[in-house]
Structure 1
Amino acid sequence: MSEAAVRIALADDQALVRAGLRALLERRGIEIALEAESGDAVLDALATTRVDVVISDVRMPGLDGIALVGALRERGDATPVLLLTTFDDPDLLLRARDAGAQGFLLKDAAPDDLHEAIARLARGEVLLAPVSSGPVRARYRYHADNAPRSLFSEREVAVLRLMAGGYSNKEIARAMFLAEGTIKNYVSAILDKLDTRDRTRAVLKAITLRVI
């Protein structure tokens, strides 16, 4: 699929935000197939309109962005959803991931980052970019019993950074010119050192402890 062929649905309760996003994306060859001010309206429209990616604000009256993702998944609609938010809250990332969203970005992301995120989701990739590290560190104080069980190697830190960008094991292996099995071993070691079984929580904990 070419990037010029990407069709999106746009949901945001602020008309000025929708207009700005529409203008920005149309200049880059992305088609806005439908737009609405609520998750409910987008959910109804998607029953009859095909799109490649849904872009939705997280906080909206009625059906918000995360609830929209859940409703789509419940009815068997696997259309990739990119959630946008102005709220720098690490819990939103976890909730978005758990609901089944493929993408998560702060609204202050650069236009190029937004365009890349849409293109990646349209290709079937995942981009759950972590929230900025400052608020995460401010929220979680350092405790000795939360420290990593052992030091990280340079390669493990590199893998962690790619995990933070939402890359899969296969994508990390390709980027680092390593076998996918090798990356799986690195991820297992990272989760063990951070004492967590969850990749997203591992990334958040690594940010908190200044590993990345």
Structure 2
Amino acid sequence: MTARPIKVALADDQALVRSGLTALLAGFAELELVAEAQDGEALLAAVAETPADVILSDIRMPGLDGFGLVRALRERGDATPVVLLTTFDEDSLALAAAEAGAQGFLLKDASPEDLFEAITRVARGETLLAPVSTDPVRARYAYRDQSEPTDTFNEREVSILRLIAGGYSNREIAKAVFLSEGTVKNYVSEILDKLGTRDRTRAVLKAITLRII
């Protein structure tokens, strides 16, 4: 039995870029473009009518930009994974993407293979907080404290760490993993303790650096 294609929605204000990305997506039988729009507002309306498995969105768009699109999705309870696209290779983007609630970001000059990998990974529930999954890029976001955790992480803790990296609140994580909000809060505290970090942002950066997520 053939697997269902991953449904993708796309937002970019530049028509040529949209056309190029549409052509790239069409090159993969495993992907299906179900909606495209020139800004965040239009894409919000489109995915309300035609749900997608993964959303690709430019960061810098007039009106509702990529970050605003992610926040609007999360505020209405839509947890569709989002990969933000940018032409700007800035160190702050990984953190900004996570804080907005996106699952990752990708440079627009990435190869078709990188695009496909990003889409399939976030569709599986993973987080992609680097432009491409290579050691040099991972090193660029290395957290200064690279000391080993005080204990190992079990599968549940890794899952919660990935959701933290996606910008989800304790309440949203609780719904996703079928636990009480109080239990999730305890898990988060334990994760921070193991990593020796004071807050969620530092925990995510250190977890990425140490390849825990």
Q: TM-score per shorter chain, which class?
A: 0.5 to 0.7
Give the greater-gyration-radius structure (CA). 1
Partner AA of 2:158 in structure 1:
N
1:118 aligns with 2:107: no
- TM-score norm. by structure 2 comes to 0.66
Q: Number of paired residues?
A: 171
1:94 aligns with 2:95: yes
Is the 1:90–1:130 contact (alpha carbons within 8 Å) kept by the matching residues of 2? no
- Structure 2 CA distance for partners of 1:115 and 1:33, relative to 1, 3 Å: same
SS at match of 2:43: helix
1:169 aligns with 2:158: yes
Unaligned runs of 5+ in 1: 138-145, 160-167, 173-184, 208-212
* Cα distance in 1 for residues equivalent to 2:129 and 2:140: 17
Once the 2 structures are TM-superposed, how far is the Cα of residue 200 of structure 1 from its aligned partner?
A: 3.7
Which whole-Å deviations, capped at 9, do the CAs of 1:15-41 have from their partners, x for residues lacking one?
Answer: 111111111111112111011110110
SS at match of 1:113: helix
Once the 2 structures are TM-superposed, how far is the Cα of residue 69 of structure 1 from its aligned partner?
A: 0.2
SS at match of 1:202: helix
Partner AA of 1:16 in structure 2:
L
Question: Could you tell me which residue of structure 1 aligns to residue 166 of structure 2?
Answer: none
1:202 aligns with 2:200: no
Which whole-Å deviations, capped at 9, do the CAs of 1:32-70 have from their partners, x for residues lacking one?
Answer: 101111011001111111111110011111100010000
Q: What aligned pairs does 1:146-157 form with structure 2 within 5 A after superposition?
A: 148=145, 152=147
- Structure 2 CA distance for partners of 1:130 and 1:21, relative to 1, 3 Å: closer
- Structure 2 CA distance for partners of 1:18 and 1:147, relative to 1, 3 Å: closer
* Cα distance in 2 for residues equivalent to 1:115 and 1:127: 12
Is the 1:121–1:127 contact (alpha carbons within 8 Å) kept by the matching residues of 2? yes
1:40 aligns with 2:41: yes
Which whole-Å deviations, capped at 9, do the CAs of 1:91-125 have from their partners, x for residues lacking one?
Answer: 22212101111121122222111101111122222
- Structure 2 CA distance for partners of 1:4 and 1:22, relative to 1, 3 Å: farther
* Cα distance in 2 for residues equivalent to 1:51 and 1:79: 7
* Cα distance in 2 for residues equivalent to 1:69 and 1:84: 12
Deviates more, 1:50-59 or 1:128-137: 128-137
Question: Could you tell me which residue of structure 1 aligns to residue 19 of structure 2?
Answer: 19
- TM-score norm. by structure 1 comes to 0.66
TM-align CA RMSD = 3.5
Once the 2 structures are TM-superposed, how far is the Cα of residue 196 of structure 1 from its aligned partner?
A: 6.6
Once the 2 structures are TM-superposed, how far is the Cα of residue 130 of structure 1 from its aligned partner?
A: 5.9
What percent of counterpart residues are identical? 51
